């Protein structure tokens, strides 16, 4: 189960709405209590990852590894093929959960089963 404070959930919703029709994204740190937005030069759908590795390194130095990686989808909140490829590298390295928010603002959390590369949904509880 992933616990998410209501104020962080509100930030995710606001960021998602402000970036529509593009994908919004960010990292959560410190047990999901801090949200840092990802801002990229590429606003096309499917290109949400931060290409500024120095910025990410600064976040990690300040907060530690992310506890979740967030992004929105213009449709359902399920991992796409591209998401699964990114999950293969980020989950083993960071050990974090992926949060995906759908177009209708429903948030779902995902992790990856080792070896099989099958996604598992994780329950999200807003506190």
Tens place of pLDDT per residue across the chain (127 aa): 888 999 999 999 999 999 888 889 999 999 999 999 987 655 555 555 556 678 888 999 999 999 999 999 988 998 888 888 888 888 888 888 899 999 899 999 888 765 444 566 777 878 7
Domain ranges of the chain: 2-126
Entry pTM: 0.84
Are 9 and 108 contacting, i.e. CB atoms less than 8 angstroms apart?
no
8 Å CB contact between 15 and 26: yes
What is the model's pLDDT at position 43?
53
Q: Are 84 and 116 in contact (CB under 8 A)?
A: no
The DSSP bridge partners found for residue 9 are: none
DSSP at 104: T
**Given this model, what pLDDT does residue 20 score?**
87
| Nearest by Cα to 12 from 60, 72, 62, 55 | 72
The pLDDT value recorded for residue 86 is 83
Reduce the DSSP state of residue 120 to 3 states and report it. strand
Residue 84, pLDDT score: 84
Q: Give the model's pLDDT for residue 114.
A: 55
CA atoms within 13 A on the CB side of 8: 24
pLDDT recorded at residue 104 = 92
| CATH superfamily assigned to domain 2-126 | Cytidine Deaminase, domain 2 (3.40.140.10)
């Amino acid at each position: 189960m992933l616990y998410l404070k209501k104020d962080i959930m509100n930030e995710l919703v606001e960021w998602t709405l402000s970036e529509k029709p593009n994908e919004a994204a960010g990292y959560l740190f410190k047990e999901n209590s801090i949200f840092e937005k990802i801002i990229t030069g590429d606003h096309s759908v499917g290109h949400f990852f931060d290409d500024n590795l120095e910025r990410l390194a600064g976040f990690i130095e300040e907060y530690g590894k992310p506890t979740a990686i967030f992004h929105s989808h213009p449709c359902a909140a399920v991992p796409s093929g591209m998401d699964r490829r990114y999950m293969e590298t980020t989950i083993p390295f960071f050990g974090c959960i992926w949060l995906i928010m759908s177009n209708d603002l429903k948030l779902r959390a995902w992790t990856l089963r080792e070896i099989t590369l099958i996604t598992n949904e994780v329950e999200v509880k807003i506190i």
